Amino acid sequence: MNLDVRLPMGLLFVIIGTILLVHGFTADPAIFANHSLGININTSWGGVILAFGAVMLFLSKKKKQD
Amino acid sequence: MHLPNLVLAAANTAPAGGASSILLKLASVDYAILAIYFAFVIGIGWVLRRYLKTSSDYFESGRSLPAWICALGFIGANLGAQEVMGMAASGAKYGISTSHFYWIGAIPAMVFVGIFMMPFYYGSKARSVPEYLKLRFDEKTRTFNALTFAVMTVFSSGISMHALALLLNAILGWNYWACITFSGIIVLIYIYTGGLTSAIYNEVIQFFLIVLGFTPLVFLGLKDVGGWDGLMTKLGLYSNAQGMPGAWSHSWAHMGTAAGNPMGVEWFGLAMGLGFVLSFGYWCTDFLVIQRAMAAKDMNSARRTPIIAAIPKMLFPALVILPGMIAIALIQQGGDSIHLPTTPGGETDFNMVVPALLAKYFPTGMLGLGLTALMASFMSGMAGNVTAFNTVWTYDLYHNHINPKASDADLVRMGRITTVVGLIISAGCAYAATKFNNIMDMLQLVFGFVNAPLFAAFLLGMFWRRSTGHGAFYGLLTGTLSAMIFHGLTLPAIGTATGIKGGWISVQHTFTSSMAQNFWMAIFAFTGCFIATIVISLATKANKTDDELRGLVYSLTPKAKDEGAPWYSRPATLGAIVLAGAVILNVIFW
């Protein structure tokens, strides 16, 4: 197959991670007190998802160069 | 493990909707995440469309995918809503013993299919599991399997659709029919355009969505109940209150008698019924999962597919069972800790554990991700069934019986038409389910009768060259009949009304739970099929020569050689490591 699944997957998670990060920094901090035990889960986990997406993109690009 | 009855339970007990039961409130950021996900799902199908040339591309991904993608598709197709919501519900009802569905259920069977059975499926060049039966046995065995399988997949897809729509209606207040139409159209578009590859790619993405979406849920939940120690303490208090001290925090210690554990099953019924008959029957013969391994690029990858898949599968209890146990700890904590709806019967509805935890722990943003993961799991459950259905219909029924002269392009066209028709029938099943709940219970029961003996026929077919077409066919019928008779003679629990739950011939035995009845029914069906296949095979003439059976039967097939390959690409070595892992987990949580 000519489409490496890591490319769309990487893109999707980079976008979702970025959205979560931005939302985490801009949203009213009260939502974390009410929900996620005071932890800003959107920024911390958004960062993880962004990193995961970036790794997938990197791997798909690396394979293309090989 | 495949447990559609749990979805049904979820579907049947989910509140009918209305403002009072709405659990989740979405913000625009959540809708944005959902929308982006759906755009990608459709986009993948659209891009893959360009690469589809032959029917093999459409139905078998051109046998071109690497092992890791097939492996994630393999568990992704099985990781439907029954797993995500049903296993959390079981985690609440049975505690750690729910892990039996993984550590004694799925894992050994996945290793077995990879090492011993995949060489015949992949090596025979059969395009489907029923086609293997044609090569190994005869036409009638194939058609019987193809027909029952086609009906089952299309109904299972309908059940997923129905459960998704009921759930979204209940937790978000969305319109039931809008959900049915929307989910049906999304799945239709990406399978119509991209075929099996599109389904598998989306299963891979969905796998990561579930892992990334649920890990923080488990983390927050565990932190909230005081970590692992806090969880165990609270489960201990809960199990004391239920009159079974320690039963929620051990997997095997209370399996000595059926009355000693909340599952109501004793170790032998569990190990034989679930661990052997049902799990091997599902993982080793169900084309829904086997199809993913058969899409692999070579024999070695096909054999490693289920074994690689077993590695994350083994760790899944942490993601899908733990939420249910956390819910129990929260209930034990009391007060305002968790809001679970009640069933019409007045009991706590544990099928709603996952949505309730999402509502509790996820702020907007993460909530969108969690909901996307949940919806993705329902849709890949549907898509898995639809791709298996269109392949079996097109190859085993249409090409074989209706139009043997069909060209390759005709087959692709038929596959696409079947995708549309399959989804319309699924929606029809959903409609039937809204009208008559009993129809779905009835179907589940019939599927159980047909499925239970399957593994016996495959096992004998692959490992005993003397087994014949007549033996397998009538063996399967005998097994199905044994299951029916067994069901007619037993009841799941004292006080159960005879009828759809059993005992409709005359009640000879009463179990402690429907799970125990189910496991023992499987044992009887397997034994009936096994004995009948042997007896009838010996009484009939072999219908295939040794030459025809080469590549289809163990003793006539040259063994795959993987000497010289690095350890991680040897199926047997990988399999041994996975099994050792499963043993260790069983011991740790004993």
Q: Cβ neighbours of residue B404 under 8 Å, at least 6 residues apart? A: none
- Cβ–Cβ of B216/A41 closer than 8 Å? yes
* Predicted local distance difference test score (pLDDT) of residue B20: 43
- Of A30-34, B274-278, B505-509, the poorest mean pLDDT is in A30-34
Percent of chain B with pLDDT over 70: 95
Chain B: nearest CA to A62, how far in angstroms?
16
- Of B81-90, B160-169, B339-348, B511-520, the poorest mean pLDDT is in B339-348
**A2 phi/psi in degrees, rounded to 5:** -95, -5
Q: Summarize the confidence of residues B168-184 as an average pLDDT.
A: 87
* Predicted local distance difference test score (pLDDT) of residue B557: 80
Q: Cβ neighbours of residue B25 under 8 Å, at least 6 residues apart? A: none
Q: Is B369 on the interface with A (CB under 8 A)?
A: yes
* Predicted local distance difference test score (pLDDT) of residue A66: 61
Chain B: nearest CA to A4, how far in angstroms?
9
- Cβ–Cβ of B361/A52 closer than 8 Å? no
* Predicted local distance difference test score (pLDDT) of residue A65: 67
When scoring B61, B212, B215, B338 by the number of chain A Cβ atoms within 10 A, the one with the most, hence best to mutate, is B212
Whole-number average pLDDT of chain B: 85
- Cβ–Cβ of B33/A19 closer than 8 Å? yes
Interface of B with A in 380-419 (CB under 8 A): none
> Contact B302/B69 with Cβ under 8 angstroms?
no
Please give the angle made by the CA atoms of B283, B164 and B11, to the nearest 5 degrees. 85
Q: Is the pLDDT assigned to residue B5 strictly greater than 80?
A: no
* Predicted local distance difference test score (pLDDT) of residue B9: 40
Q: From chain B, pick out residues whose CB is under 8 angstroms from the CB of A51.
A: none
Q: What residue has token string 């806090």? A: B230
* Predicted local distance difference test score (pLDDT) of residue B13: 39
Q: Summarize the confidence of residues B33-60 as an average pLDDT.
A: 89
- Cβ–Cβ of B61/A1 closer than 8 Å? yes
β-strand B509-510 against B490-491: which pairing, if any?
parallel
Q: What residue has token string 């993608």? A: B69
Interface of A with B in 7-66 (CB under 8 A): 8-9, 11-13, 15-16, 19-20, 23-24, 27, 31-32, 34-37, 39, 41-42, 45-46, 48-49, 52
Q: Is B337 on the interface with A (CB under 8 A)?
A: no
- Of B2-11, B373-382, B554-563, the poorest mean pLDDT is in B2-11
Other CB atoms closer than 10 Å to residue A57's CB: what's the count? 18
CA dist., res. B487 & res. B503, Å (int): 6
- Cβ–Cβ of B48/A1 closer than 8 Å? yes
> Contact A6/A59 with Cβ under 8 angstroms?
yes
Residue with the larger pLDDT of the pair B1 and B26: B26
Residue with the larger pLDDT of the pair B496 and A42: A42
Give the predicted TM-score (pTM) of the model.
Answer: 0.89
pLDDT band of B435, cuts 50, 70, 90: confident
Please give the angle made by the CA atoms of B184, B189 and B194, to the nearest 5 degrees. 135
Chain A: nearest CA to B361, how far in angstroms?
5
Six token digits for residue B211: 């892992």
Q: Is the pLDDT assigned to residue B560 strictly greater than 80?
A: no
Residue with the larger pLDDT of the pair B298 and B3: B298
- Cβ–Cβ of A37/B43 closer than 8 Å? no
Q: Is B364 on the interface with A (CB under 8 A)?
A: yes
**Would you say the ipTM is above 0.90?**
yes
Class of residue B206 by CB neighbours under 10 A (exposed 0-12, middle 13-18, buried 19+)? buried
